[in-house]
Amino acid sequence: MSVLAAETRPKDASTSRVLDVQGLDVRLGRFHLLHDVTFSIDRGERVGLIGESGSGKSLTSLALLGLLPDDAHVSGSIRLAGVGHDLVGARERDLAAIRGRDVAMVFQEPMTALNPTMRVGDQVAEVITIHAGRGGRDKRAARARAVELLDQVGLPDPGDAARAYPHQLSGGQRQRVVVAIALANDPSLLVCDEPTTALDVTVQARVLDLIVRGVSARDAALLFITHDLSVVATVCERVLVMYGGRVVEAGPVTEVFRRPRHRYTQGLLAASDLDSAAAGGRLPTIRGTVPSAGTFPDGCVFRSRCDHATEVCATEPAWAGPDPGNGFACHHPAGAERAS
């Protein structure tokens, strides 16, 4: 029975890997924005991507959807389960066929992410009809399915909501609509870019719950981008820490948050540790600000803001760890003082 069940799975069952990013490199004009970004996500796995603004998180997500600007130079490889070709260098037509079907995205700003002049139900139905193929473009069926989806994401009176315009819904309700659009075609990968940052704290938890349940029900992979570490701790199993367009540390959430190795991760955690704030009165901060694109130092990108930097940090630190999904890149990792 179980063998049968495995065989009838729609997506490639021989491997559970959904997303495989290898050496992703993005240049825009004279700016080198992403350096050798490597990570993978398995089916049903929820991975957090954290870092300050300007660290390359959103750019990574746009690369996964093939939505980088036309003049960006991209190298490396992005493979998605069920897609026979590399997303890097693919034709726009092929990428458009994947977007909204195999990989979907929830954006940060629910207030502006929906078309103000189109009824909500039509906006949900559209993503269904786009990918339905020639035979299945039944608008009425798509609209009925849209109402079902709006019901699933917990909108009260989904029939009325489908006929509403975005401005008639609250921020939280709009984000539910965006989630409904993203999940409409049961994507194998859902990318969420700060989906709750713009929402009231009380609404945040409910939308997070909605995303996690939606992803679990579909056994989809989730890449969750945020700078809110507590959200990562609740939602994700693994975490990637980005700084200066590189992944500087990666590993299981419990491990990385309990024993950070990279000095940047350590700084991020200290800056959001409310217990230490209660003791000292003020939160510790990472000194300085994130350099603007193209002005990161060579060698270790964090050395201009790191209290532990020495001459050796002018050379690029190698990845220390068993695999790209677990390890860090730092010459003076935290927790190594006693050893040296």
Phi, psi of 265 (to 5 degrees): -60, -45
Q: Which of 33, 65, 81, 189 binds other proteins (CB under 8 A)?
A: 65
Q: Which of 146, 181, 183, 240 binds other proteins (CB under 8 A)?
A: 181
Q: Which is nearer to other proteins, 43 or 131 (CB)?
A: 131
Q: Which is nearer to other proteins, 125 or 329 (CB)?
A: 125
- Please, what is the minimum distance in Å from the beta carbon of residue 167 to other proteins? 5
Residue 212 burial (10 A CB sphere; 0-12, 13-18, 19+): middle
Q: Which is nearer to other proteins, 97 or 212 (CB)?
A: 97
Structure tokens at 210: 């909605």
Q: Considering only CA atoms, which of 26, 24, 19, 35 is closest in space to residue 79?
A: 19
Q: Is 127 in the site for other proteins (CB under 8 A)?
A: yes
Vertex 118 angle, CA 112 and 121, to 5°? 100
Q: Point out which residues pair with 106 in neighbouring strands.
A: 192
Structure tokens at 8: 């009838």
Q: Is 53 in the site for other proteins (CB under 8 A)?
A: no
Q: Is 97 in the site for other proteins (CB under 8 A)?
A: yes
8 Å CB contact between 179 and 211: yes
CA–CA distance, 310 with 331 (Å, rounded to integer) = 9
Q: Considering only CA atoms, which of 194, 232, 187, 224 is closest in space to residue 43?
A: 187
Length of the chain: 340
> Which range touches other proteins (CB under 8 A), out of 176-184, 212-220, 243-251, 297-305?
176-184
End-to-end CA distance of the chain: 55
Q: Which of 4, 30, 84, 116 binds other proteins (CB under 8 A)?
A: 116
Q: Which is nearer to other proteins, 105 or 300 (CB)?
A: 105
Q: Is 132 in the site for other proteins (CB under 8 A)?
A: no
142-171 mask for other proteins (x: CB under 8 A)?
A: -----------------------x-xx---
Q: By the criterion CB under 8 A, which residues form the site for other proteins? A: 65, 67, 71, 92-93, 96-101, 104-105, 107, 109, 112-118, 126-127, 130-131, 165, 167-168, 178, 181-182
